[in-house]
Amino acid sequence: MPSVSTSSTTPYDVLVLGSGAAGLSLALRLAQKGRSVMVVSKSRLESGSTLWAQGGISAVLDENDSLENHVRDTLVAGGGLCDEEAVRFTVERGPGCIRWLLAQGVQFTRDEEGKQRPLHLTREGGHSHRRVVHAADATGRAVETTLASLAAHHPNITVRERAVVVELIVDRATKRAHGAYLFDRDSGEVEAIGAKTVALCTGGANQVYLYSSNPFGASGDGIAMAWRAGCRVANMEFMQFHPTCLYHKDSRSFLLTEALRGEGGYLRIPTTGERFMPRFDSRAELAPRDVVARAIDHEMKRLGLRHVHLDVTHLPAVFIKEHFPTIYAHCLELGLNITKEPIPVVPSAHFTCGGVMTDLKARTDVDGLYAIGEVACTGLHGANRLASNSLLECLAFAEAAAEDIEQTLSKRPAPPALRQWDASRVTDSDEDVVVSHNWLELRTFMWDYVGIVRTTKRLERALHRVELLQQEIQDYYGHYKITAHLVELRNLVVCAELIVRSAMLRKESRGLHYTLDYPQTLPQARPTILSPA
């Protein structure tokens, strides 16, 4: 809890919370203009979902393509809920953002010699043209490692690794951001860091579900902190699930690319071997991602299964090893030869479409507080995300925020003296089991009751449990010293509440929100906006 003594730390121009594509590109753009920046990551500098992104970044770079096509594809994917202005704004910035990444030294896959465009473009589901810039199948890694290396060596950037942001520092009277409290995982101390401007770049909330393709840190910290600070949050019911994540006790968050189904893989019921997708869609395993995820969820719930099988054993072993070397090797390491045995899979929470509401300059409801990347709801994704638009969103809105910060920074006063964190009334916990138990309980009932297919009854059950957990976690937070997991759990339960409440407000099925009680789509699309009390 904050006490009255003050901070002596020199304030930064900009405090960037998070070091994925959004945070690093914002930090670099501002540092390159001479601004003093601190970048904070709760783990290493190279971290976040960005590091794991495989496919690529969408941008119109082919002469046969057009901005209008990209806008249309995004609007179609978004199920009628995208903000068209935000879509146009993002799409128009795409080519410039790719040029900026190239200028920073990111090595994208080049096109064959003799072709007119310098970069190789792939085509992904939902895109009417080739427009996905990539670095083989590890685009996020190429972007993240390049930007992190530049940030680590930039004289205007101070990097704080293994520092968990516990809370934003916001003046309640003026509704202005002044900094944040950082918990140092190594020393156990909490420090107040002051800045003229604060940017939330903390990623999504996908760890709120038992199965997630995201790294553990995707606990919605920024969304929960912004909510507590007085920001509106929108469209949290739209959580995107990837249909096939490996189900194995020793391997979490390992995605099995949709190309496995594209190349002829079958989905089967483990107990009977039945190939079930033809019962759900005439395209069987090639149906769109959401249809496949929903069918798997249906079969798992109907039969009480822990997973289903993805079977590629009928494909030639040489082909599998050649086309899916990483998956083959990873599974073999776990004792699973995918050329001979079916792969246990579950759908997994993959992308948070909603988040902290922002305008086109990435500004939130709190003065001096920006939100960029997966933490934000800009209006781009609507009810469903078009593949490879998320990294583009990080880059486009980091550019827009950097421009706005540049223009306004000289008018912003330095933050006042900050209250230091007061840990005098809390003790070391002697029952950490409360945190681990509640963490698992929360993620399990979110998976069972608020997952891919919803009903009003299940949502009501989930809300009841969320409220009980919130009381217990808040009580624990008030009595015991902070740990990284406690901070994350406290934020996860807030995100869970926001997801459940948003889902309860939507009396229709649209995009990623599917409820058996309201299977129809209403004629008019409206965002779900929650305002803090």
Ligand X SMILES: Cc1cc2nc3c(=O)[nH]c(=O)nc-3n(C[C@H](O)[C@H](O)[C@H](O)COP(=O)(O)OP(=O)(O)OC[C@H]3O[C@@H](n4cnc5c(N)ncnc54)[C@H](O)[C@@H]3O)c2cc1C
Where on the chain is the footprint of ligand X (CB under 6 A)? 17-23, 40-43, 47-50, 52-57, 139-140, 164-165, 201-203, 213-214, 217-218, 221, 255, 351, 373-375, 388, 390-391, 394
Q: Which is nearer to ligand X, 463 or 482 (CB)?
A: 482
* 195 touches 38 (CB < 8 A): yes
* 57 touches 392 (CB < 8 A): yes
* 280 touches 288 (CB < 8 A): no
Amino acid identity of residue 120, one-letter, is H
Between β-strands 163-171 and 176-184, what pairing exists: parallel, antiparallel or unpaired? antiparallel
Q: Which is nearer to ligand X, 217 or 463 (CB)?
A: 217
Q: Which is nearer to ligand X, 139 or 509 (CB)?
A: 139
CB of 97: closest distance to ligand X in angstroms?
A: 12
Q: Which of the residues are catalytic? A: 289
> Of 395, 350, 377, nearest to 218 (Cα)?
350
Distance CA 342, CA 331 (A): 11
CB of 269: closest distance to ligand X in angstroms?
A: 26
Backbone phi and psi for residue 276, each to the nearest 5 degrees, phi listed first: -95, -20
CB of 279: closest distance to ligand X in angstroms?
A: 29
* 258 touches 286 (CB < 8 A): no
* 183 touches 163 (CB < 8 A): yes
Helices in 232-342 by DSSP H: which ranges? Answer: 259-262, 289-303, 317-323, 325-333
Q: Which is nearer to ligand X, 265 or 373 (CB)?
A: 373
CB of 232: closest distance to ligand X in angstroms?
A: 19
Q: Which two tokens stand for residue 89?
A: 């704004």
Q: Which is nearer to ligand X, 47 or 74 (CB)?
A: 47
Counting DSSP H helices and E strands in the chain, the numbers are: 13, 20
CB of 395: closest distance to ligand X in angstroms?
A: 9
Q: Which two tokens stand for residue 235?
A: 């469209």
